[in-house]
């Protein structure tokens, strides 16, 4: 690597620097998770009369936005855990990896639902159109009646899909609101950890890390709950 002669020397990150980076990254991810809950209507919305508009690959989007940066910050946080609560390094590492896997699976599931809906609608619509226009050619239906049948089918598919979305939102709403409240609590604990690190208070830092680990496990349970609800309702 070529370094400019004018470049400032890189200083070693302090524990507080590491925590600040990790905390900022976690808050960004938390906002993204909230978007995925409150904006599921957009993520799964119907586009056009016959299909869903082509979407970006959500998994690639997640990876490109968070993967490298998040891995770096997680590693820095684990260094803090190792210093103040070494017995929780492996449990935290496992929980973080599980959290990432669940979020990727959640996004993959959303994408699969959209694709499946679109593909099924197209196939069924082609079969319906063929049948209807055969009846038109045989004089059993008028062209207008055939068109109305197609419109009715599309409307029914939309209603069916929207009903599944509404059922999903209802299923996770109570737990989602509870988790939004916990997010505020987590922010307080992070601030307590920051203060403990600045004061080099080992006991308080260890206590805050224990609390954050408990919240991390709860968040994983919530991610799994959302995924289970989605799989059961679509």
**In this structure, are residues 212 and 190 in contact, taking their beta carbons and an 8 Å threshold?**
yes
Query: Angle 21-225-217 (CA atoms, 0-180°, nearest 5)?
Result: 40
Give the residue ranges of DSSP H helices in 8-88: 15-38, 40-43, 58-62, 68-84
CA 102 to chain CA mean position, Å = 8
Is residue 36 within 8 A of residue 43, CB to CB? The reply is yes
Is residue 159 over pLDDT 60?
A: yes
- Of 63 and 156, more confident: 156
pTM, to two decimals: 0.70
| Structure confidence by residue, pLDDT tens digits, 173-222 | 999 999 999 999 999 999 999 999 999 999 999 999 999 999 999 999 99
Q: Which of the pair, 31 or 45, is modelled with greater confidence? A: 31
């Amino acid at each position: 690597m070529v370094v400019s002669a004018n470049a400032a020397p890189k200083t070693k990150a302090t524990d507080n620097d590491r925590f600040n980076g990790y905390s900022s990254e976690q808050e960004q991810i938390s906002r993204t998770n909230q978007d995925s809950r409150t904006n599921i209507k957009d993520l799964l919305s119907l586009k056009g009369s016959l299909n869903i508009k082509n979407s970006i690959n959500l998994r690639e989007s997640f990876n490109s936005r968070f993967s490298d940066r998040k891995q770096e910050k997680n590693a820095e946080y684990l260094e803090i855990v190792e210093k103040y609560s070494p017995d929780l390094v492996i449990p935290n590492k496992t929980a973080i990896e599980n959290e990432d896997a669940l979020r990727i699976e959640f996004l993959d599931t959303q994408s699969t639902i959209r694709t499946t809906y679109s593909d099924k609608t197209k196939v069924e619509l082609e079969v319906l159109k063929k049948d209807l226009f055969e009846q038109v050619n045989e004089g059993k239906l008028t062209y207008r009646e055939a068109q109305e049948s197609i419109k009715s089918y599309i409307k029914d598919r939309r209603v069916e899909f929207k009903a599944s979305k509404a059922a999903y939102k209802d299923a996770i709403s109570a737990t989602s609101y509870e988790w939004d409240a916990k997010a505020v609590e987590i922010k307080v604990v992070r601030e307590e950890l920051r203060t403990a690190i600045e004061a080099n208070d080992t006991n308080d830092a260890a206590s805050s890390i224990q609390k954050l680990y408990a919240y991390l496990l709860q968040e994983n349970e919530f991610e799994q709950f959302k995924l289970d609800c989605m799989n059961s309702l679509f």
